[in-house]
Amino acid sequence: MKLGLLYRLYERRLLRGFDRERLPRHIGVVLDGHRRYAREEGLASYQESYRVGMRRFEEFLDWSHELGIPAVTAWVLSRENLGRPEDELFPYFEVLEELFGRLPERARRHDMRIKVIGSLDLLPESLVSAAKRAQEEANEGSRRLNIAMGYGGRQEIVDAARDLVTSLVEQGVPAEELASRIDADSLAAHMYSSDVPDPDLLIRTSGESRLSGFLLWQSAYAEFVFVDVNWPAFRRVDFLRALRDYAGRERRFGK
């Protein structure tokens, strides 16, 4: 109880020190460390930690809403993760289906539109159906939530290039002119979430100091914050510290 009170006081202190104008408009977050959390906490299964982690993610959405963050992109499952044993993957798929069942209600409360991005064709039909239902039920809102699932940053760029070339061919652009019609702006327009501004801040938990291809194209000028805590144990105070760190940086955008 005493520790909880101290954290709340610290959170208030952090909030008082924020310049709201310097907060990020788009946050990307890598929800990493579920299996480590399960081992460290002695949980009976990884599925237990996945459930804790997804509940924490919903809290994270509440925290972001309270601070007026307009857009969040969360990486919940990578293409590489799909190579894990089925006895690890399928319990996680179940947890994600549960998450998609709950998200539309929270999206309505937060005036938030949901979009699921990634290679959905690699995922089980039941999970894809749950994701699409959530997307359909929460297809309006001034704020944005992108869920990256079966996602890989390199694959996104490959898909964008294919879509761009296909579009140019459909427009009747001659083969000898295709190369001249491909540039950074035209390619960016074919990314999975081209209608959302590039992220200002990327957060990864569990102590890993790499992005593993998350939003590879869009993160060119993003600020990174790596947090030691595993995702299921990620607290509001950890989030506020990350925002404080971000707000104190001078962004140069390559200049």
Residue 204 in tokens: 């990864």
Query: Is 32 considered catalytic here?
Result: yes
Q: What per-residue string of b and e applies to 75-96 under the rule 16 or more CB within 10 Å gives b?
A: bbbbbebeeeeeeebebbbbbb
Residue 116 in tokens: 């699921």
Residue 192 in tokens: 């999975």
Q: Catalytic residue, from 62, 81, 159, 245: name it.
A: 81
Angle at 139 between CA 138 and CA 140, to 5 degrees: 95
List Cβ neighbours of 174 (8 Å cut-off, separation of 6 or more).
none
Beta bridge partners, 144, equal 71, 113
Residue 127 contacts residue 159 (beta carbons within 8 Å): no
Query: Is 81 considered catalytic here?
Result: yes
Alpha-carbon distance of 168 to 173, in angstroms, equals: 6
Alpha-carbon distance of 129 to 119, in angstroms, equals: 14
What count of other Cβ atoms lies within 10 Å of the Cβ of residue 254?
6
Which residues are known to be catalytic? 32, 81
